Structure 1
Amino acid sequence: MKSMLSNEVGGPETLVLTNLPAPEPKKNQVRIKVHAAGVNFPDTLIIRDLYQMKPLRPFAPGGEIAGEVEALGEGVTHLSVGDRVLGMTGFGGFSTHVVAEAAQVVKIPDDMPYDEAACFVLTYGTSHHALKDRAQIKEGETLLILGAAGGVGVAAIELGKAAGARVIAAVSSEEKAQFCKEVGADDTLIYSRDMSDRAAQKEFSNQIKALSGSKGVDVIYDAVGGDYAEPAVRSLAWKGRYLVVGFPAGIPSIPLNLTLLKGCQIVGVFWGAHTMREPQNHAENMGDLFRLYGEGKIKPRISASYPLEKAGEALQLLQDRKVLGKVVVTMG
């Protein structure tokens, strides 16, 4: 098998294509012949030892994959050799073969392409859990999405619309704004790439209020963090919900008096822990997502595809925040 390994702490340029023996599945595991692997922001962190999970080196990044079951470990009964599946691996996905816990592997519809399957579960799983379970979003509410042109942001646009919400997509460029409109956003706003001074923050908050009206927004889906968080919270409606999803712009500090003044909630979204702690709810959510996919209401927007040997370039594109929708690594 071939694998793009992280042998040292560093950026995408440190990954090395390496030949390795194919792994054997242990009890309750399966070996999957990988056809495609999704590229996600945690992949850029894990190779720098900045993610909460720190695997022993050498390891390959890549937390979600799609492919065919090739071998079964002892005790696996819900899968068979040859099944078309997607799987959450945490890491190891940038490889032609990977061993995964059988409980984290799900059969995919026959008409679902491998590249779409590899870009499905993390983004849509995160956004569905955020909007359905954590925000309990309702039809007619207004949803503001920060970082709306990225993978989880695009998923949130589609799922917000499927829930009957009015969606405002906040992005950093006109190109991204146009992309979000094509996905289905009702309105867009372009924020400054530098939100460090109070004037820029006030302008950002005013932009949101201009689009949402005097009431404010009901739900904020924040996949950006940093200095964008506080002005967004200031635009919340009474009893609004602010969803903490990610921090590519840094971990924000939010004055807690704002929660008192607005009667609002700051709600954490840790989808990975949710899948482990609440497996039944996760299974129900996956059923929701496959149904929505079958109805054509959600569909991964893949803007770029890279072969395995260029997986570092895929990570760099994501790290530079130049991705529209999703990027995938294919095994050929």
Structure 2
Amino acid sequence: MKALRITEKSGKAVFCQIDTPSPTATQIQVEIKACGLNFADLLIQNGTYQDIPAAPFTMGMEIAGVVSATGESVQGLKCGDRVAVYAGQGGFAEHGVFEADRAVRLPDSMSFEQAAAFQIAYGTSHMALSHRARLLPGETLLVTGAAGGVGLTAVEIGKLMGATVIAQARGADKLAVAERAGADHLVEAGEDLRERVLALGGADVVYDAVGGDAFRAAFRACRPEGRLISIGFASGDVPQIPANHLMVKNLTAIGFYIGGYQNFRPEVVHDSFATLFDWFEQGKLHPHISHTLPLDRVFEGFDLLRERRSTGKVVITMDN
């Protein structure tokens, strides 16, 4: 079968023909229908991601498809079931094998494309805002990079949790996307973020996937007892936090990486996904996919992320 592989450490992604994998006792084999793109896919290719599998491996972190075989110890799933899996690898291929306990059965109303765009972005935002930052109704949430894959879901979930949401993004089109997701106030990326946020009363919680100048401005725009969640550094600039300023304003700096929870507290991930899929079925969440491309055009998808030309998620399908 065809698969997009990293064949050596820090190597370039290339298409390969490999044998279709068979499941072990605890795994399922999935006929993959769609795979979501993530900014982490770019970092993996650069060798700068914090959790890169040992080469060789098939890229693609989150998939949706149909169970095509099950290992002898698997219970609760059968051939023909529609599932999503956040596995961290194995997604850019026609078939993949994944641990059964990582699979989530899809609601009938959710398409494969929606499912492939769902788990990492929504899971990251929900767990960061609810489990880590303890966002409360009536608080003010500032989201940087608010039209991106995780940023847009933070806007949507923050609003759903009862917050007033300030969204920062670059350009009118991206700000309009954030506004449709529920943002109450919009800040153009070229404006003085600190000044605008303070004029609105300051931020109780900052959700930052950008880093650099955006983080530094947001840091200075926090109210006393504010919480700053660091999700990533799309700008390429990892900011340094002045501890004395944390002390003076009684601020809390919070790191969040959903993959870590998969390893040391998987029950938190499981509970979050259960809540999110329930919200989807209730019509409360609306995954935004700006581009859907076939596997042959996956490098175009990488360029969309690299050049900041997408909003929400980019999804790769296995149908040409």
TM-score range, shorter chain: over 0.9
Note if 1:239 corresponds to 2:225.
Answer: yes
Report the more deviating stretch, 216-225 or 55-64: 55-64
8 A Cα contact 1:233 1:258, kept in partner = no
Structural mapping, 1:245-284, within 5 Å:
245-249=231-235, 250-284=237-271
In structure 2, the residue matched to 1:205 is: 194
In structure 1, the residue matched to 2:50 is: 52
TM-aligned CA deviation for residue 143 of structure 1: 0.3
In structure 2, the residue matched to 1:4 is: 4
TM-aligned CA deviation for residue 122 of structure 1: 0.4
8 A Cα contact 2:23 2:69, kept in partner = yes
Structure 1, residues 176-209: CA drift from partner, whole Å, max 9, x if none? 11111122111110123xxxxxxx8xx3311221
Note if 1:217 corresponds to 2:203.
Answer: yes
8 A Cα contact 1:307 1:330, kept in partner = yes
Structural mapping, 1:1-332, within 5 Å:
1-7=1-7, 14-192=12-190, 203-210=192-199, 212-213=200-201, 216-249=202-235, 250-332=237-319
8 A Cα contact 2:10 2:44, kept in partner = no
8 A Cα contact 1:17 1:309, kept in partner = no
TM-aligned CA deviation for residue 16 of structure 1: 2.7
Distance across 2 between alignment mates of 1:10 and 1:20: 20
8 A Cα contact 1:217 1:237, kept in partner = yes
Aligned length: 318
Distance across 1 between alignment mates of 2:10 and 2:183: 36
TM-aligned CA deviation for residue 8 of structure 1: 5.3
Q: Percent identity?
A: 41
8 A Cα contact 1:28 1:101, kept in partner = yes
8 A Cα contact 2:211 2:233, kept in partner = yes
8 A Cα contact 1:34 1:97, kept in partner = yes
Please identify runs of 4+ aligned residues in structure 1 that moved more than 6 A: none
**Any stretches of 5+ residues in structure 2 without a counterpart?**
none
Partner secondary structure for residue 35 of structure 1: strand
8 A Cα contact 2:219 2:228, kept in partner = yes
Distance across 1 between alignment mates of 2:42 and 2:69: 30
TM-aligned CA deviation for residue 271 of structure 1: 1.3
**Any stretches of 5+ residues in structure 1 without a counterpart?**
193-199
Partner secondary structure for residue 47 of structure 1: helix
Structure 1, residues 93-117: CA drift from partner, whole Å, max 9, x if none? 1111111111111111112100000
RMSD: 1.5
8 A Cα contact 1:72 1:81, kept in partner = yes
Give 1:145's aligned amino acid: V
Normalized against structure 1, the TM-score is what? 0.92
